[in-house]
Each structure stands twice: as structure tokens, then as C-alpha cells.
Structure 1
Amino acid sequence: MSDEVVLRDFAKDYFPFQFPGFGRPGHCFLRVNLFDSNVSVLCAQLKDYHSTSVTNGLEGIIDSLVDTLLKERLTSGKAVVEVIEKFPFLRRLTRSDQEVSRSRYLSARRKLLERCRWFEYYPPGAGVADEGSLALVSVRNAGAPSWSYAMPEAFAADVPEGFFHIAEDLSKWHM
């Protein structure tokens, strides 16, 4: 018996976005766009950054994003991501608050990943390719992710106009 997950229209940039890194917190630029129950995420590596990369930190970034979106509210007060429990009374009788919370998190994560187009961006000078790179990352609930590299034009029909344009200076991320 799975919960119903409602995704409401929402767009926000998180800069810097903090995630659990290896040995210390990691940071990245994260753009999230939820529209018509579809999710587009642009995750960008920061310049002059010497901690966990967005590639190596992918799972931690996803987990932190799910936590963040479960807490986000629209101006109307409604949750951006709402998990509607099936049989909440019965569930609360048989499970601890921690188990219920974990179940809600897993339902939200599953739905977000089912509906998500995750893009990983390395600006020029921030990755292995001097000219920068953009990849569509296929992320499944279980299993290894895979990367498909292309120019932004190849993905333009799948995201809102201007989605790949980052106005912020990604070298000015220090907290």
C-alpha cells in the first residue's frame, strides 16, 4: 500500500545548496522546477570548489533535495510535495513516528525520481572538460545512475526556457 504523492508547481534556485559530502558538507548550485507533476533539476558544480563533486555526491544531493522539498511551502501555505498517507490511523497504530516519517520520505523520493529529469552541469574550468559539460543523469530508485552528455540545445524542448542559464557567479558560493 503506497502513499499518494502530490507535486505542486514550484520553481526555485538554491545557491549554495548544502548536501552531505565526504568528510565535510558539500555545496552546489541547484535549480528545481516542478510543473504539471514533472520535475526538472539542474545541479551545477561550483567554481573554485574543492570538496565532494556533484557527480560523487549525487545520492546525497537527491536525499537533501527530497528533505528540502518536503519542508517547502507555497505562498498559499500548501506543501510543494505533499504525501497523503493511506490509512494513516492504522499506520500510526502499528508504526513508530520515525517509521512513518521514513515511509513518507521514501514515497516522496520515489515519486520525484519517477518524474525527474536531472541535469548535471560543470561550468567551463570546473570539471574535466575545459569547455564545461552538461549531462542528463538517469537516476532510478535503485541501481547505478547513468550520464548522457550533450549540448543544452539537445535538451531544450524538455525544460522551461532559460533553464540552463545560470546568472549567479558560481565562484561566489562561500558560506
Structure 2
Amino acid sequence: MTIFQKDFRRFHFPGFGQVGTCFLRARVNQDGTSIFFCAQLRNYIGTSVTNAVEDIFVKAVRALYDEGVYKLHRKRWYSLRRELNYEHIAAHSRWVEYYPKGTGISDKDSYALVSFDSELRPVWNYVSLERAARECGVTEDFFAISSEDIQYAQ
């Protein structure tokens, strides 16, 4: 059961020399798992979501904290020092990185499951849409984005 879901249509993150922008959808389930869907925008020429994935993850977790989500299950998501436990959250999260056709090196839509080790170093596993949905426990509709939301505009 979902306890929180939100689209961040223009999620800003630290980029290389400028602020980066992506589309981010975040869902937190009652069992404490988090699902993140991070999309590269069409016609965006700044830092890619691949190059900044660790920073986007940390900022996304902080955004959920600011929304009050992680305050609901304090024991699960906090370290003994009462700080957000990014390692624990990463271990109980699914992160999907998406490049729509024409934005990456592939000539079709590209989905990658990104996992993070204990130091938040990412590892990418490129999968089909069907597998991404199955691994995240969602329907394929979870990964649908409107043409307006996927288009970068200043």
C-alpha cells in the first residue's frame, strides 16, 4: 500500500557548474520501501541524471524528509545519531533511471535499475520496462510521463 507519492516535475540537483534538472517521481510504501523514477529531460543539455545520480538520490531522500514522509517511521530511516540513514534507505529503495528515445545513446527508450552500495556508489543494470515494473512492484503506468513533463523548457 502506498503512503506517499509525488511528482517533482522539475527536480533540481547539483550539476557540473550549474544546477541540473530532471523529472522525479517518488513513492513510499507502507512497508518502508521507496521507489524513485528519475528521467532525463528532452532538450536538456546540463549534467545528466547518470552523472549526478548519487546527488539526486540524496536530494530526493531529503525532499521526502521535508515532505514529512520519513518522520512516519523514524526507527526505519534514522541512524542512532538521529540522522537520515541513506544507506538503509538505499537498501530498501528501487531507483529507475529513464532516458526517453532521442535523449541518450540508445535509439529507443532506456531503463536502468540503479542500486547503491554502502557508500552510495551506483551500479546500473539496463532492463526492459516490463522488468523495471516487476522489480519495483508497480504497474508499467508508474513510468508514464506526459510529453509536457518530459520536455525541458527554461
TM-score > 0.5, shorter chain as reference: yes
Q: Summarize deviations over 1:43-88 as a string: whole Å, max 9, x none.
A: 000000010000001111012112211110xxxxxx2112748xxx
If asked which structure has higher relative contact order (CA below 8 Å, sep 6+), I would say 1
Look up the equivalent residue of 1:28 and give its one-letter code.
Answer: C
| Match among 33, 51, 70 for residue 38 of structure 1 | 33
- Distance in 2 (alpha carbons) for counterparts of 1:165 and 1:135: 15
**Conserved? CA contact 1:40–1:159, under 8 Å:** no
Which has the higher Rg, Structure 1 or Structure 2? 1
- Distance in 1 (alpha carbons) for counterparts of 2:87 and 2:3: 18
Matched residue, 2:65? 70
Give the TM-score taking structure 2 as reference length.
0.84
Look up the equivalent residue of 1:160 and give its one-letter code.
Answer: V
1:127, CA displacement in angstroms? 0.5
1:144, CA displacement in angstroms? 3.0
Matched residue, 1:80? 69
Query: Cα 1:143–1:62, aligned 2, differ >3 Å: closer, same or farther?
Result: closer
Q: Secondary structure at the match of 1:81?
A: coil
Q: Secondary structure at the match of 1:110?
A: helix
Query: Cα 1:143–1:80, aligned 2, differ >3 Å: closer, same or farther?
Result: closer
Matched residue, 2:15? 21
| Match among 118, 138, 145 for residue 166 of structure 1 | 145
Matched residue, 2:126? 149
Give the TM-score taking structure 1 as reference length.
0.75
Matched residue, 2:83? 104
Q: RMSD across aligned C-alpha pairs, in angstroms?
A: 2.0
Look up the equivalent residue of 1:159 and give its one-letter code.
Answer: G
Query: Cα 1:165–1:147, aligned 2, differ >3 Å: closer, same or farther?
Result: same
Q: Summarize deviations over 1:84-111 as a string: whole Å, max 9, x none.
A: 48xxxxx9xxxxxxxx6xx513x2x223
Within the alignment, does 1:115 sit opposite 2:92 as a pair?
yes
**Conserved? CA contact 2:113–2:126, under 8 Å:** yes
Query: Cα 1:71–1:168, aligned 2, differ >3 Å: closer, same or farther?
Result: farther
Look up the equivalent residue of 1:50 and give its one-letter code.
Answer: I
The 4+ residue runs of structure 1 with deviation greater than 6 A are none
Look up the equivalent residue of 2:70 and give its one-letter code.
Answer: V
- Distance in 1 (alpha carbons) for counterparts of 2:87 and 2:119: 10
Overall identity of the aligned pairs, in %: 36
- Distance in 1 (alpha carbons) for counterparts of 2:8 and 2:97: 15
Structure 2 residues without counterparts, runs of 5 or longer: none
